[in-house]
Amino acid sequence: MTSTLGFAILSVLARGDRTGYDLAAAMRRPVGYFWTAGHSQIHAELQKLLGAGLVGFEAEHGPGPRDRKVYHLTAEGTRALREWVTEPPRERPERDELVLKTYASWLAEPELVRRMFADQLAAHETRLAEYERHEASFGGPPAPGDPRFGNYATLRCGMGYERHRAEWCRWMLAQLGEG
């Protein structure tokens, strides 16, 4: 019963062998945009994946008191990952604090609500500009089958999300009236 975090790790490892430290770095950016984990969680999960025979490692003597371990996918790990990819994702409950605040916004001062949404809008516009710059660095969409397709397709999703959020913020501001 490999967890989603386990498959997140396998997904990164499928692009190249890495240490736990490298995995933690990768799961801040770009994987962190859709799945994050701290290093403590990653080391623990790697033990489980090792026990399940989905990954292996080669140890070199590294900096610090313990060995440096470079992890790689096993044949079984690759097979498990490939199988998991096309299984329908199990939906997890949404938890969105801004939307919850919006639900209760009728009892707050409109001016303060307006300010909150103005800040949110600015943040979304900044992130969208960042993503757009990143998108431009791809020379158009890579072919499915190319590992870079994964990066590009998730980036496109992020761009759509930021646009949708920004639009909703603008709609909210219009509802609240000019400040």
> Is residue 8 a contact partner of residue 41, using CB atoms and an 8 Å limit?
no
In the list 9, 26, 31, 46, the residue contacting DNA (rule: CB under 7 A) is: 46
Measure the CA–CA gap between 147 and 136, rounded to whole angstroms. 18
Number of residues that bind a second copy (CB under 8 A): 70
In the list 29, 61, 103, 137, the residue contacting a second copy (rule: CB under 8 A) is: 103
Q: Which does 40 bind (CB under 5 to 8 A by kind): DNA, a second copy, none?
A: DNA
Site string for DNA, 74-113 (x = CB under 7 A): ------------------xx-x------------------
> Is residue 99 a contact partner of residue 169, using CB atoms and an 8 Å limit?
no
Site string for a second copy, 145-164 (x = CB under 8 A): xxxxxxx-xx-xx--xx-xx
In the list 113, 121, 124, 128, the residue contacting a second copy (rule: CB under 8 A) is: 113
Cβ-based nearer residue to DNA, 3 or 175 = 3
Cβ-based nearer residue to a second copy, 21 or 149 = 149
Query: Does residue 74 bind a second copy (CB under 8 A)?
Result: no
In DSSP terms, which residues pair with 93 in a beta bridge? none
Which position has the token pair 């790990």?
A: 77
SS3 58: strand
Query: Does residue 29 bind DNA (CB under 7 A)?
Result: no
* 18-48 burial: b if 16+ Cβ within 10 Å, else e: bbbebbbebbeeebebeeebeeeebeebbeb
Q: Which does 31 bind (CB under 5 to 8 A by kind): DNA, a second copy, none?
A: a second copy
Query: Does residue 99 bind a second copy (CB under 8 A)?
Result: yes
The secondary element (H helix, E strand) that includes residue 16 is none
Measure the CA–CA gap between 27 and 91, rounded to whole angstroms. 21
